[in-house]
Amino acid sequence: MSEKTLVGSLIIGQSGGPSSVINCSAYGVIKTGLENPNITKVYGAFHGIKGVLNDQLMIMDEEDPAELANMLHTPSSALGSCRYKIADPDVDDTDYKRILEIFKKYNVRYFFYNGGNDSMDTCNKISKYMNRVGYECRVMGVPKTIDNDLAGTDHCPGFASAAKYIATSFMEVSRDCHVYDTGMVTVIECMGRHAGWLTAAAALANVKGDGPDLVYLPEVDFDMDQFIADVKRIYAEKKNCLVAVSEGIHYADGTFVSEAKTSGTDGFGHAQLGGLAARLTEIIKAELDGVKVRPIELSLLQRCAAHCASGTDIAESFMSGKVAVESAVAGITDKMVGFKCTRDENGYKCEPELFDLSLVANTEKKVPLEWINEAGNGVTQGFIDYCLPLIQGETGMVKEDGLPRFVQLKRVFAK
C-alpha cells in the first residue's frame, strides 16, 4: 500500500456476461470517482478492455449525474462488455504496451475492471505489468457474476438478483403447473455450467411452500436412472413434479447431460435442437407413459431481470464499486473488493473485504457438498440460511409508461 497521493484519471471497464446489477457496481465507481478530488477525469471503456485497446473511452464527466443514477436499475453492461482474454505478458506483451500507451495518453492512474473470473485475471495481469514497467497505477477488481463462483468473497454481486428472480419465477410457475387436477412434470433449466448456485436458489421458493420438488446441481454426478426414479416417486405421490436443473449437470464420466448423444427420440445420433430441459422432459414423457411435460429454460431472462433485482444486491454492488475507488485513492492496488458477511441472531451483516486478485483469478467456488442433500436431489437448510438474506429488499426501480426507465448515456468519446 502506497501512502502517496496519486492524482490522475480513472478508467472503469465491464467484462464478461452481464447481470442485473453490474451497472450498480460501475455506478459506484463512476459516482465516487467523479466526486473525488484526486481523480481528474472518469472514463468508461467502451466494451471493456477492447475500449482501452481501441482508444474508445467515454467521458463520464460529460454525462448528466441524474441520468447516471438510472444505472442502478439498468441491467446488462451500460458501458458495453467483451469476452477478450488478454495474453500472458511473458508470451505476448503487445496488448500491455498498448494499454500503457493509452494510460499515459490520458494520465490514467486508476483502473477498475468489473467482471468475473477472467476479468480478475485481466486486472491482475495489468497490475503486475504496470508494476514491472514502473508505471504507477492502482488496479482494482470490482466483482460481478450471477454464477457466484468467485473465490474468497462470501458472495458475488449479481448472484442475489438472479437468485431472487429464479425463486420468484419458481413460485409463480409452481402455482401455474399445479392448477389442473391432471398431472404434469415441469423441468426448469437454470444457468451455471460448473457451479450450481443459481439452480440451488430455486429452492428458496420452498421457504414459501411453492418450490421445486427436485433440484440437481453440477457439483454432484447426475444419474439418469436415479432422476427418472425420483420423478416417478414424486409424481406417484403428488401427481405433479417440479424440477430445477443446472445446465451443467453431467454424468459420472464428466459428459454434460445436455451434450450426450445417446438419449432422446432421435436414434441417429444427430445433435438435437432444444436444451437440456427439453431433453429431460422427453425422457420423462417416455418413461411416465406420456405424462404431460413442460420444459422451461430461464435463459437470458435470469441474468437481466432488473425489474426483480434484490435491493440488498443493488446496495452491495454499489458499495463494492465505491469501496474500490476509496481503497485505491487510499493507496491500495491489485485487490478485488469482495464481501465478508455474518448471519446470526443479530441478522445479516455485510462488510467489504479486499482479496488478492491472484487468489481470486481463475478459481471457481462451488456449492459446498454439505449444502447438498444426501440423495443429490435437493439443498439443505445451510444453503437457505446463506442465500435468503441476499435476496431481501426490492429494486426501487423508476417506471415510465408502466415500463422500466433504463439509463441513456450520451457516450461522448475522448479524442
> For the residues of 9-27, what is the DSSP string, one character each?
EEEEEE-SS--SSHHHHHH
Measured from the CB of residue 279, what is the shortest distance to a copy of itself in angstroms? 6
Nearer to a copy of itself by Cβ, of 351 and 394: the residue is 394
Nearer Cβ to a copy of itself, position 229 or 300?
Answer: 300
> Based on CB atoms, which residue is closest to a copy of itself, 153 or 161?
161
301 binds a copy of itself (CB under 8 A): yes
CB of 134 to a copy of itself, least distance (A): 32
Q: In what helix (H) or strand (E) does residue 44 lie, and over which residues does it extend?
A: strand 39-45
CB atoms within 10 A of CB 4: 8
Of 107, 106, 88, 84, residue with least CA distance to 96: 88
Taking the complex as a whole, the smallest distance from the CB of residue 210 to a copy of itself amounts, in Å, to 6
Binding to a copy of itself in span 356-415, by CB under 8 A: 388, 391-394, 399-406, 408
Size of the site for a copy of itself (CB under 8 A): 75
What 3-state DSSP class applies to 245? strand
**Residue whose CB is less far from a copy of itself, 35 or 266:** 266
Q: Which of residues 7-26 bind a copy of itself (CB under 8 A)?
A: 18
Which whole-number Å values give the CA distances from 367 to 1, 18, 54, in the listed order? 33, 21, 38
Q: Would you call 147 a catalytic residue per the annotation?
A: yes
Question: Within 45-74, which residues bind a copy of itself (CB under 8 A)?
Answer: 47, 50, 74
What mask of x and - would describe binding to a copy of itself in positions 251 to 270, judged by CB under 8 A?
-------------xxx-x-x
CB of 269 to a copy of itself, least distance (A): 11
Contact region with a copy of itself (CB under 8 A), list: 103-111, 302-310, 347-355, 363-371: 302-310
Interaction of residue 80 with a copy of itself, rule CB under 8 A: yes
Site for a copy of itself in 165-204 (CB under 8 A): 167-169, 171-173, 175-182, 186, 204
φ, ψ for residue 125, nearest 5 deg = -65, -45
Q: Which of 147, 149, 213, 313 is catalytic?
A: 147
| By CB under 8 A, residue 210 contacts a copy of itself | yes
Task: Report the SS3 class of residue 51.
Answer: helix
Name the nearest CA neighbour of 107 among 206, 7, 4: 7
Quick check: 304 binds a copy of itself (CB under 8 A)?
yes
Which of 97, 261, 274, 349 is close enough to bind a copy of itself by CB under 8 A?
A: 274
Contacts of 318 (CB under 8 A, 6+ apart): 24, 25, 27, 28, 72
Query: How many whole angstroms separate alpha carbon 360 and alpha carbon 220?
Result: 23
* Residues contacting 118, CB < 8 A, separation 6+: 15, 16, 83, 85
Question: What torsion, rounded to 10 degrees, do the Cα atoms 54, 30, 72, 207 define?
Answer: 100
Q: How far is the CB of 28 from a copy of itself (least distance, A)?
A: 19
Closer Cβ to a copy of itself, 91 or 273, answer by number: 273
Residues 115-154 that bind a copy of itself (CB under 8 A): none
Site string for a copy of itself, 279-298 (x = CB under 8 A): x--x-----------x-xxx
Binder of a copy of itself out of 201, 306, 324, 360 (CB under 8 A)? 306
| Least distance in angstroms from the C-beta of 413 to a copy of itself | 14
Please give the distance of CA 376 from its chain centroid, rounded to a whole number: 24
- Torsion angles phi and psi, residue 363, rounded to 5: -115, 145
Q: Distance between CA 317 and CA 24 in Å, rounded?
A: 6
Q: Name the residue nearer to a copy of itself (CB basis): 9 or 281.
A: 281
Minimum distance from CB of 42 to a copy of itself (Å)? Answer: 21
Question: Is the Cβ of residue 310 or residue 377 nearer to a copy of itself in the bound state?
Answer: 310
Distance CA(185)–CA(214), nearest Å, equals 11
Order of strands across the sheet that contains 39-45? 57-59, 39-45, 8-14, 108-115, 138-143, 335-344, 347-356
- Is there a contact between 395 and 379 (Cβ–Cβ < 8 Å)? no
Shortest Å, Cβ 147 to a copy of itself: 15
Active site residues: 147
